[in-house]
Structure 1
Amino acid sequence: MSTQTLVSGPPAAATGRARPLASELRRLAHRRLVVLLVLLGVLAVVAAMVAVFATHSADASGARAEAQRQAQEIAAANATDASCTDPDACYAPTADDLFEDPRFTAGSLVDVAMVVGGGAALLAVLVGGTAMGADLASRAMVTLLSWEPRRLRFLATRYTAVALASLAIGVLLQAITLGLGALTVQLRGTWDVGRRVWPPLLWLELRTLLLVVLAGLAAAGLTTLVRHTGGLLGVLFGYTVLVETIVNIVGTERGWTRWLVSQNLAAVLLPGGNTIYVRYDETGAGHDVTIHLSHLQGFAYLAALTAAALLVGSLVLRRRDL
């Protein structure tokens, strides 16, 4: 006769501690659009670095010899040209003028990382938008709020998941960029650029990662307001085409361009910040009127816009009838 041991108490699943943040991260990781966007981002970075590798060469001596040959050909052609009796009448470039270094220098990693950082921020915008828009448009938000009826706590968890996902995307793309870039420098370039490379490069990497997180959060906050990812894209397109264009046309001399998102993005990404020309000195005396936006100023402005989007979106969703 078999015996069975009865275990009293609730099942294990009912006694487990809830982990809403882990659930949100898993939900993001299983979204097909998010996976597709990340794969496209990785493929784009890899393709770009392969193109960089293919268009550079370590044969600097061969390139210099080719420049010397071209200079000699031009000089010989000028010597047989009757119209070049006056030395100033025909331009005769030297080998140094024609030489183009085919090597990929370590200093170029900064430029590449800057471009990839901007692309990662754009990718984070799409991920942040779909993280909120998909559930709002499909009304799955109603079901989710039945598990966590405190809307502000739910939004805080969702926004945290978006920030972590955006940070992971930025780290992944920049790691691929630095790895393939360092390989290109080693095989088809040079580390000798006459200046330190890693301090400014690592500082740029930190700035781009923070920018990617802000981009994802700002997109999530705006999508909470417009309730759809398509609405977010429409708002961004309208801002870029209308607001940026109009302010650049009518507000340049008034200094309004300093408040544009594009100018503050440039302040974050560009080494040394962004210098905006308000008014050029037509006399040529060098008295141009400029506004300089530092890294900190750019970050502060973008962080303020992001906080405003999150705050307004949270307050609206708290009172909105879903």
Structure 2
Amino acid sequence: MTALMVVEIRRALSRRLVRVLVLVALLGIVIIAIGAFATSDPDAADAFSPADIWTPELDQSSDAAIVGGVSFLFLLMALLGGASVIGAEYKAGTITTLLTWEPRRLRVIGAKLAAAAIVAAVLFLVLEALLAGALAPAAVVRGTTEGADDDFYRSLAGFLGRGALLTGGCAVLGGAIATVGKNTTAALAVVLGYIVIVEQILRGLRPGWNAWYLGENLGIVLTGERLDDVVRSVPGAAAVLLFYLGVFVAVTLVVFARRDVT
């Protein structure tokens, strides 16, 4: 299993779409860093500070809202990247070839989903570290490091841990949907269609169900804070997301094990 996992991680990193997504993320980091450096005024009351960004309350400042938005984009990128890890295999017709080398289907799909999760989680941590490094000049030269105390670093560690787990989960979800749909775009279409259209309709018709919606639970786990209009704790939201992911993975395992892969 270890050898198969290493192979799948290498294959995931070699995907063109994965590399393109990483380049897009790097470009976004550069733009954000330049914007923070150019707009921060060290003499102003709202001078740029790292403590205003990686905090539980991502909606308390415009800087934090930007980083929170970037993190959600990382989740979407992980979804698409995870989908491409498997969807590209179907498009190229290499799934059948792979199964002649390793006929144990559950082992194969398990390795692919795990590899997608590992790659996505590690890339999230690397990109967040690069974002922190890119924003450092704005804080040191044109801002302030006030507030970067032990509580800040604990909050940062919690945010990174939750973000890495969410990113890995999104990659698994993308891979699972791509496996069932046999293509990459199926994952993005299903998830965005559900969040943007279905959940919006449900919020209007059934606002009392908001504790079960995907968007709300993602927000709770990523920020590490309860939402004002949602009766759900962070562990509770994580449990809901884990349950949803488990259902998708279970369906994927059954489908992949039983159907013709050609």
| Alignment partner of 1:273 out of 220, 226, 232 | 226
2 CA distance for matches of 1:183 and 1:197?
A: 18
| Alignment partner of 1:222 out of 177, 199, 218 | 177
More strand by share: 1
1 CA distance for matches of 2:7 and 2:192?
A: 32
Moved over 6 A (4+): none
Q: Deviations over 1:31-60 (max 9, x none)?
A: 211111111111112211211111102133
| Alignment partner of 1:122 out of 72, 76, 85 | 76
| Alignment partner of 2:99 out of 145, 157, 162 | 145
| Alignment partner of 2:49 out of 102, 105, 120 | 105
2 CA distance for matches of 1:36 and 1:132?
A: 16
2 CA distance for matches of 1:109 and 1:173?
A: 15
More helix by share: 2
Corresponding residue number in structure 2 for 1:9: none
2 CA distance for matches of 1:115 and 1:234?
A: 20
Q: Deviations over 1:183-242 (max 9, x none)?
A: 321111112249742221221111111111111111111111111112222212321233
Instruction: Tell me the TM-score normalised to structure 2 length.
Output: 0.89
Contact 2:175 2:187 in 1 (8 A): no
Corresponding residue number in structure 1 for 2:235: 296
1:33 maps to 2:17: yes
Corresponding residue number in structure 1 for 2:129: 175
Contact 2:174 2:188 in 1 (8 A): no
Contact 1:113 1:177 in 2 (8 A): no
Residue 103 of structure 2 aligns to a residue whose secondary structure is: coil
Equivalent residue runs for 1:31-110 within 5 Å? 31-60=15-44, 101-110=45-54
Q: How far is 1:305 from its partner?
A: 1.1
Instruction: Tell me the TM-score normalised to structure 1 length.
Output: 0.73
Corresponding residue number in structure 2 for 1:306: 245
2 CA distance for matches of 1:239 and 1:115?
A: 19
2 CA distance for matches of 1:234 and 1:56?
A: 38
Structure 2 counterpart of 1:264, one-letter code: N
Residue 107 of structure 1 aligns to a residue whose secondary structure is: helix
1:257 maps to 2:241: no
2 CA distance for matches of 1:180 and 1:194?
A: 16
RMSD over equivalenced CA pairs, Å: 1.9
Unmatched segments (≥5 aa) in structure 1: 1-16, 61-100, 277-290
Corresponding residue number in structure 2 for 1:233: 188
